[in-house]
Chains A and B, each alone.
Chain A
């Protein structure tokens, strides 16, 4: 009996080794940050080199230094933030609607065979439709208005979110579904306790892709649909081109890029958290 207890000890105790000691937080942070900083430096150097070759005159293609100076200047102006706020408000409304409608659609299509047969393929088709092609219709339906922009952002992001959820539900391990059924989960409770949590990683993937589509659609929209008295980032970009103010134009592009990256990294962080919890390392 003592022997058995000893073996039991070792069977369970040995697993402590499975938990690798966590690297110091700061070191881990630095090791993920420095390659990115390196990439930024490389781009700046490359850019400066192109400017130095004199390929284009300074006023058409300024170097990084004046553009960054302009960016810092912009960042100290309150009306610049007004523009960012207008753009982000549209992003939040459009993406929020896409989240609600896309999730609901994905769930319905996943759950109801008839809907899946009818719309499953169409959903994937919609996802690959360039969202800019919706603008002519959006303008006819809503004129040059906020609604036209939000409409296109919704159509850009919604199908990706629905498709992510659908593929998550489709690829749940059959064994987990079997286990759920054996434990007595049926219908909605099977969805709530097994299928939806199991579909979460793919759903997050869909949300991430949906955001990318939403942001692209929004920028396209702000260049095409210019609503009066709404100096959004897109409007400022368009004005910068009209005034041949390349410094301003590049500074704005950096801002647009940065917002896209920051939001994307939020989704990546959520995804990484889930992967860690599930033990899906290196996936």
Chain B
């Protein structure tokens, strides 16, 4: 019995034989087929794959925004989702966007402002609370989105290529910040990317997806010490092998 409990508490997400298909132009489009995935509490797992490998679909299913066609998904804990676009509400200030997440959690009005400012400080945006989204750069918007996600106090953070649209330096900084936040908070992170280096830079484990349909091709533990650098030879070597495999898959299918 104690063993069963152990398993239950240790696990944040368990995906078993998950398939997702939806009709597309009179045919059935299979986005995911027979995907098995397990996410331990406090783990940072990266899913890497080319576009069309069903990565986003996987996140949507885990977030409860889409239904599996077959298989099962068990999620233990509140989830929050972050996208490639910051998707800030343009009529609210940086603080307002964070406060809305708090409002929807039922946090009392008197507390919201203080918490929002504290969260913005944690993502290095102190002093920008009153800025509107269009007055912020891409990196700053993504930081607000990160603060907003933190405001949801989720245990599981789902990230859908959150830094793909950013310039290299900003992305580098955000990798460090995400890593820091994750290490301090004990969050469980499922991070989806098409960039093998990013996956190796961040992940405790990396799961490689192939496409048409999306399946798990390979799973590997990344045992390099943290913090890692995107440009280190070790990261590059592992990422190179993943890239090879992805290229191989793409050539096979075309």
Contacts and interface: CB of A to CB of B under 8 A. Distances in A.
Interface string B119-142: 000001101100011111101100
Interface string B84-107: 010101110000000011011100
Contacts of B83: 175, 178-179
B81 interface: yes
A193 B132 contact: no
Q: Which of the four size classes fits the interface of chain B?
A: 20 to 34
Given A8-B124, A194-B89, A279-B90, A15 B104 contact: no
A130 B103 CA distance: 45
A259 B101 CA distance: 44
Given A8-B124, A183-B101, A193-B103, A15 B176 contact: no
A175 B79 CA distance: 17
A118 interface: no
B136 A15 contact: yes
Contacts of B170: 11
A196 to B, nearest CB: 11
B109 to A, nearest CB: 14
B152 interface: yes
A33 B89 CA distance: 33
B159 to A, nearest CB: 12
A179 B89 CA distance: 9
Contacts of A198: 89, 91
Interface in A177-199: 178-179, 181-185, 189, 193-194, 197-198
A256 B90 CA distance: 37
Interface in A131-190: 173, 175-176, 178-179, 181-185, 189
A274 to B, nearest CB: 8
Interface in B66-88: 79-81, 83, 85, 87
Interface in B47-79: 63, 65, 79
B250 interface: no
Nearest to A177: B87
Contact of B87 (A4, A176, A189, A278): A176
Contacts of A193: 100, 103-104
B173 A278 contact: no
Contact of B91 (A12, A19, A278): A278
Contacts of A279: 90, 132-135
Interface string A15-35: 100110000000000000000
B4 interface: no
Contacts of A8: 124, 173
Contacts of B79: 182
B83 to A, nearest CB: 7
A175 B176 CA distance: 27
Given A11-B170, A15-B136, A175 B104 contact: no
Interface string A97-121: 0000000000000000000000000
A4 B175 CA distance: 12
Contacts of A258: none
B169 interface: yes
A278 B139 contact: no
A185 B101 CA distance: 9
A178 B65 contact: yes
Contacts of A181: 65
B63 A182 contact: yes
Contact of B134 (A14, A183, A278): A278
A197 B89 contact: yes
Nearest to A189: B104
A200 interface: yes
Contact of B85 (A19, A175, A184, A200): A175
Nearest to B100: A193
Given A183-B101, A189-B104, A193-B103, A11 B140 contact: yes
Contacts of A176: 87, 89
A229 interface: no
Contact of B90 (A12, A18, A278): A278
A90 B246 CA distance: 70
11 contacts: A8-B124, A178-B83, A181-B65, A182-B65, A183-B80, A184-B152, A193-B100, A197-B89, A200-B91, A278-B90, A278-B134
Given A182-B79, A183-B80, A278-B132, 7 more contacts: A11-B169, A15-B137, A15-B140, A193-B103, A274-B91, A277-B90, A279-B133
Interface of B: 63, 65, 79-81, 83, 85, 87, 89-91, 100-101, 103-105, 124-125, 127-128, 132-137, 139-140, 148, 152, 169-170, 173, 176
> Sorted from nearest, which 4 A-B pairs have the closest CB atoms?
A279-B134, A278-B90, A182-B81, A179-B87
